[in-house]
Amino acid sequence: MMNNEKGYKPGKFFGWVFLITWGSWLIAAYLSYNHPDPDFYSVFLIPGLFAPVLVTIAFIAMPKNRQIRKDFFQRLFDVKKVNLAPLVKICLIMGSSVILAILVSVLFGGSLDQLQLSEDFKFSAGSIPVLLVMIVAPILEEIGWRGYGVDALLSRFSLLIGSLLFGCLWSFWHLPLMFVKNYSMNLLLQENVWFAVNYFASIIPLGIILNWLYVKSNRSTMALIIFHIFLNFMQTSTQMTEWTSCIQTIIIISIAGLIVVTNKELFFPNIQVYSELEA
């Protein structure tokens, strides 16, 4: 747990992020059903996507946050901070979770054809280019979440509680997209409500996994950007069905649990993770 003397304000940060994001995305959701041109309402998706990084910039720009600002830029641009061992390890583990989920699904009648590479992305972002969203969104999110949000939570809570809180907030942050016509989450809801529930549930254990990598990579924002982009492509690169995605969520929860159990010194409050900031 990090000393809050550094000036972190988690409540205000997430309050502003949600206000901007939900405000713009709910407008987009309303217009998606009341305006024929998807290019028009898709414009309102952009402010919500930028909200985490914009609020982060506003907070670290405050004169009293000079030390936080210096730390922010170092973690974002210092390549030496990236620890390749845990990054490669978790990429292999998460990639294997896709294969394992598909193999398990075969026991319940699923097809091995799911292992084939997808001809197109299993993702829809209205009129916004999918490839752009899959690359740009992780960059913007991680600069915001890791640039201020996660540290703000960990200034008050242990790594375990802070990660669970972040996972829940991160999941809840996406909620308005469920109501934007023809967006991926909206299509999941139309197909089966449990597929939509699974999407939101899968994000929570990812909060633990990402924060574990964050700490193991010397709090490198760059490492998290790389991993987040990898996650996006991993989830859309095969022909995995949504039922199989539900199986994968169980596997991801197990991975997160195993990480906590094998890293007790990091996830429980008697260990100070951020000693470098407190020197």
Known catalytic residues?
Answer: 141, 174
Question: Among 5, 1, 9, 4, which Cα is nearest to 149's?
Answer: 9
